[in-house]
Amino acid sequence: MIVVMKTEATAEHAASIVARVEAVGCKTHTIEGTDRRVIGVVGNGLALDIHQIGRMIGVEKVMPISKPYKGASREFKPDDTIVTVGNVKIGNGSMVIMAGPCSVEGRTELLEVAHAVKEAGANILRGGAYKPRSSPYSFQGLGEEGLKYLAEAREATGLPVITEVMDPALVPLVCEYADILQVGARNMQNYALLNAIGKSGHPVMLKRSFSGTIEEWLMGAEYIISHGNTNVILCERGIRAHETETRNTFDISAIPVIKQLSHLPIVADPSHAVGKWEYVGSMSKAAVAAGADGVILEVHPEPDQAWSDGRQSLKPKRFAKLVTEMRAIEAVCR
Ligand code: PEP
Ligand code: MN
């Protein structure tokens, strides 16, 4: 619910509302407006009598949050959420570039690509150590060995790292190495995983499932937020439609829709959306123009030799050119 305070209400009046609802386990977000305070309240609605809150001193009115996702909604928190990792901020109005190989393939390979993307202007290094492959016979990732290479690449370049976690039991381990956890498209509704990540408090990027509606995606975010972890970044990576020329269909409209419905930052993944490197550049630029808080791109020095997703991977030189173009579009659009 949203509690709108009277203009003349004092900080003490607001504090007593917060204390009242937090006593029954609810979480709050207070917005200090120019002429009044507004308090967003989520969780444990059964224990709260909305009319009783409405009668408390200083309260102008109480409104229910209309969406099923509460903590993820703009109604609850009108100001943008900014997720901070190291010296990088996601959601503060400037565009963040995440780049690296689909999979961590080895120490030397990762260090090479990490230095290349850093030099080209990337802000965050990506690389999968646990890979959600459609076939159990495909390369499944290097596991903890891959996490160690990512940590070494962070040391060497200063770039924070993002990597996928698929198993709730592995959340503490991956948190030790990664700055941002990635929840892949196939796990958007893996509630055991989302609960474990919520409890960890660690920054996380939640990818949209290829069959997920925007509401289902935001409900996935709500699972994480319900544990008090608001360090959630959303990622649009393409959805399944009838078209087969591209790997998925890039739902670019999800970017402004999320901006309206939610306060969470939204990152675009054109690599997985289109699946072919030829189309990645134009879709990345479109995502920047559409207002994405960041893009995540797969980069590999030898895409033909990549252990996964080579078809959609950019070579470092092409990636460097794209970074310049995206920064130019960002400068025009923001
Ligand atoms: C990936 O980022 O390499 C990946 C597997 O992405 P998705 O979950 O979007 O398919
Ligand atoms: Mn991939």
**Domain containing 13 — which CATH number?**
3.30.70.1140
C-beta separation of 238 from 296 below 8 A: no
What pLDDT shows up at residue 298? 98
pLDDT at 94 over 80: yes
C-beta separation of 83 from 265 below 8 A: yes
Q: What is d(CA 157, CA 211) in angstroms, rounded to the nearest whole number?
A: 36
Cβ neighbors of 216 (< 8 A, separation 6 or more) are 188, 189, 209
Q: Name the burial class of residue 257, with classes exposed (0-12), middle (13-18) and buried (19+) by CB atoms within 10 angstroms of its CB.
A: middle
b (16+ CB within 10 A) / e for 51-62: eebeebebbeeb
Same domain, 157 and 201: yes
Same domain, 190 and 119: yes
pLDDT at 220 over 70: yes
What pLDDT shows up at residue 48? 83
Q: What is d(CA 228, CA 248) in angstroms, rounded to the nearest whole number?
A: 33
What pLDDT shows up at residue 242? 97
User: Does the model's pTM come out above 0.85?
Assistant: yes
Structural domain boundaries enclosing 54: 2-63
User: In the numeric block, which tokens belong to residue 248?
Assistant: 């998925």
Identity of the amino acid at 112: E
Strand ranges of the sheet holding 59-63, from the earlier edge strand across to the other edge: 27-32, 37-42, 2-5, 59-63
What pLDDT shows up at residue 45? 67
Same domain, 49 and 111: no
Q: What is d(CA 5, CA 40) in angstroms, rounded to the nearest whole number?
A: 11
**Strand partners for 124:** 98
Same domain, 55 and 125: no
Residue 17 lies in a domain: yes
Residue 167 lies in a domain: yes
Same domain, 205 and 302: yes
% pLDDT > 70, the chain = 100
What pLDDT shows up at residue 47? 74
Q: Is the CB of 208 under 6 A from ligand 1?
A: no
Q: Which atom of ligand 1 is nearest to the CA of 309?
A: 3
Q: How far is the CA of 276 from the centre of ligand 2 (A)?
A: 12
Cα 256 from chain centre:
15
Residue 46 lies in a domain: yes
**Strand partners for 84:** 89
- Mutate which of 211, 267, 269 for ligand 1? The one with the most ligand atoms within 8 Å of its CB, which is 269
Q: What is d(CA 38, CA 28) in angstroms, rounded to the nearest whole number?
A: 10
pLDDT in tens, 264-289: 999 999 999 999 999 999 999 999 99
Q: What is d(CA 87, CA 158) in angstroms, rounded to the nearest whole number?
A: 9
C-beta separation of 138 from 308 below 8 A: yes
pLDDT in tens, 122-163: 999 999 999 999 999 999 999 999 999 999 999 999 999 999
pLDDT in tens, 32-47: 988 999 999 998 767 7
Q: Average pLDDT, whole number, for the chain? A: 96
Same domain, 212 and 315: yes
The CATH number of residue 325's host domain is 3.20.20.70
By alpha-carbon position, which residue is closest to atom 8 of ligand 1?
184
Instruction: State mean pLDDT over 80-91.
Output: 97
User: In the numeric block, which tokens belong to residue 74?
Assistant: 């703009």
Same domain, 173 and 265: yes
Q: Which of 15, 30, 63 is the last residue of a domain?
A: 63
pLDDT in tens, 49-85: 889 999 999 999 999 988 999 999 999 999 999 999 9
By alpha-carbon position, which residue is closest to atom 10 of ligand 1?
185
**334 falls in which pLDDT band (50, 70, 90)?**
confident
Same domain, 121 and 206: yes
Residue 158 lies in a domain: yes
What pLDDT shows up at residue 179? 98
Same domain, 108 and 155: yes
What pLDDT shows up at residue 88? 98
Same domain, 184 and 250: yes
